[in-house]
Amino acid sequence: MNKDTITLTNNRDAKSYEFPILNATVGPSVVDISTFYKETDMFTYDEGYTSTASCRSSITYIDGEKGKLMYRGYDIAYLAKKKTFLDTAYLLLNGELPNKEELDNFSFEMQKRSFVNEGVKNLFDAFPDHAHPMAILSAGVSALSAFYYKHLEINTKEEYKEMANRIVAKIPTLAAFSHRYSNGLPIIYPDMNRGFTENFLYMLRSYPHNYVELKEIEIKALDTIFTLHADHEQNASTTAVRNLASTNAHPYAAISAGIGALWGKSHGGANESVIRQLEMIGSVDRVDEFIAKAKDKEDPFRLMGFGHRVYKNFDPRATILKDIRNELMHELGISSELVDVANKIEEIALSDEYFISRNLYPNIDFYSGLILQALKIPKEMFAVIFVIGRTPGWIAQWSELNKQKTIKIARPRQLYTGPNDRTPEY
């Protein structure tokens, strides 16, 4: 008998069924139940897909119990501390870290392709004042498919590379334009003399004919946030991208779907929620009051920025961002009541048995929101920042699925609980 199988017994009729076990490079094995319905005439039920592997992937690996995250086999701490976001983007898109020449060429590609067709600005003009930047960005990405309609079919490595470089390079420009338009500010074009992350900050902050000073620590902090957000296994937005890819949709439609999923408060909008909650608490004197509310089972209040769906240990990205936050606050000389509130909450959570026993450690959102605020980035742009960082991961996931020999359109089944055969009475 093959040992790499699992036997399931239906106690209703004592029938047994055998399914193969597929072994991972690292991490849990999975049971291949692709023939489950055919053999048993039943579906499996897994709300939120908490125990279901939806695909095979060689891009990102998470060990939630150990607090480990790897891109293409590289530990996230190594990439965040020793490499740049463009190194990481290249790694995700191409499978290997770039050498100096490859990185220089990739950086130049990002600079050259960062400009968008002037017609895109006409689209932005149609949006009302103070429209949310995520709405504008999503529309802008969808519009790219109209401007590059001759390049929607991706069949060769060269076509994939061109598409990937185009989208990764243009997303920050569209993001910056979204911010400028939503606030009635003049558009700032990319500067060919600036690097990827610096250029984005420049387009956010600058004004025509005005020099803007960007500190190295600010660029480093934002670049690190981009790196830490670059991919994260099969999360909600990545699943949305893959689901669209399974329909043979072009990458612009898939990325736009990812943006829509990321906009949710429980996903890309979580760090904005953290800041709004800190503002609501308002004072160190009120922290104990809200900690008590968080512990009260009868109180609907939930402390934002703590715990994670996957990580049952410290979020490795949060550990990195905590150091960056402290460095940023020190070098910029930032001191505020909001920071004091956050520090007090963190101090209590890391020493309180209630939080420790429930694995409610600070996650990436707890620190990233404070960093983005220190960088003078408005709260409504927080999810947009997430999009910029996540784009290379989305494209890598889209590409991985499209390289499969056979692609099945995503089509989950359901447990129907509605009425049956409601024959109308006449």
**Catalytic annotation, residues:** 308, 365
| Cβ proximity of 85 and 106 under 8 Å | no
Strand-pair partners of 6: 19
| Cβ proximity of 172 and 225 under 8 Å | no
CA distance to 7, 139, 173, per residue, from 121 (Å): 59, 12, 11
Distance from the first to the final alpha carbon of the chain? 60
- Name the H helices within 304-336: 316-332
| Dist CA 116 CA 225 (whole Å) | 24
| Dist CA 230 CA 225 (whole Å) | 9
| Dist CA 8 CA 35 (whole Å) | 13
**Angle formed by the axes of helices 316-332 and 216-228, to 10°?**
170
List of residues 6+ apart from 182 with CB closer than 8 A: 127, 129, 130, 131, 132, 133, 136, 380
Structure tokens at 94: 């191409």
| Dist CA 204 CA 275 (whole Å) | 20
List of residues 6+ apart from 110 with CB closer than 8 A: 86, 165, 168, 169, 196
| Cβ proximity of 220 and 211 under 8 Å | no
Amino acid making up residue 351: S
Q: What are phi and psi of 34, to 5 degrees?
A: -60, -25
Q: DSSP code of 185?
A: P
| Dist CA 184 CA 1 (whole Å) | 70
